[in-house]
Amino acid sequence: MKKIKLLYNPMSGDATFKNRLDQVISRFQRAGFCTVPFRLENQYKTEEAFFDIHNDYYAVAACGGDGTINSIVDIMMKQKIDIPLGIFPYGTSNDLANYMGIPRDIISCCDIIINGIERKIDIGKVNDKHFINVCSAGLLTDVAYKTDTAMKNALGKIAYYIKGIEEIPNFSPIKMRLAFDNSVIEDNMLLIIVLNSSSAGGFTRLAPNAAIDDGYMDVIAIKYTNIKNMLSLFFKILKGEHISDNYVYYIKTNRLLIECEKHYETDIDGERGPDFPLDIVLLNRALRIFTADAIYK
């Protein structure tokens, strides 16, 4: 039987996936696959789950949110594990799965992996870490990992919004320098978002023209401004009409250096990111992933 390595975070999202584990194993087994599960816990480093994974496996299947998937992809990239990845989107935020049309349904996720439709997607690399969907710095970028786990499990994405509102009054402008394609931008920023797909944090139209396999990152850099302008810009973001706004820099590039004189938190896929400076490069079509359809959303 072909083997599938199933890595699951029992605490992701509403923490219900572990109750469906037998259903997953049964579905794979009836299709001729042997499931080798590994429970991801705090006392185990993610790389320990890969002790027996070689390219003779059929697939790696990851259950959790974007942060869990990020940690798995990071190890796969570093260890040059060239087998496809299947996703069970059971986190608080599942931006990559939503973009690729992968539903939060156990049987559907199993069948997507069984059917074996693969696509190669881009992967970002910032300093020595990889990211699947987003790297960000500035306002609200530390909300995901500052929000209490129990609150996230109870309220879902609403917990992020509540925590974000608490942070806004304490925010001050960040002097940043962006270097890309022989160009330089220096300005006081509120937020910089480097995207691989079109969405992050549940906002589905942050980069309306982005494609996850085009070899480019879509960079949204928002200038510092007052609360009134911030609110106006927020509603434009909801409608995907912010790209041409006077307070937004929009960049498409495959290499970006972000420098900042002071220490600020950064984020990659909902987890704490590296310290400045951020040297970001895009790895074109570096990861094989199972998807529901032949064409991306």
Q: Which residues are catalytic?
A: 271
Q: What DSSP state is assigned to residue 203?
A: B
What angle, rounded to 10 degrees, do the helices at 106-115 and 21-30 form?
30
Distances (CA, A) of 273 to 31, 39, 264: 39, 24, 10
Look up residue 245 and give its two tokens.
Answer: 């706004």
- Between CA 182 and CA 203 the distance in angstroms is 30
Q: Are 180 and 192 in contact (CB under 8 A)?
A: no
- Between CA 112 and CA 108 the distance in angstroms is 6
- Between CA 145 and CA 149 the distance in angstroms is 9
Q: What is the DSSP string of 111-172?
A: HHHHHT-EEEEEEEEETTEEESSEEEEETTTTHHHHS-HHHHHHHTHHHHHHHHHHHGGG--
Distances (CA, A) of 288 to 119, 219, 230: 6, 24, 38
Q: Is the peptide bond before 103 cis (omega within 30 degrees of 0)?
A: no
Q: Are 167 and 183 in contact (CB under 8 A)?
A: no
Q: What DSSP state is assigned to residue 287?
A: E
- Between CA 86 and CA 116 the distance in angstroms is 9
Q: Are 255 and 114 in contact (CB under 8 A)?
A: no
Distant-in-sequence, close-in-space partners of 54: CB < 8 Å, separation ≥ 6: 81
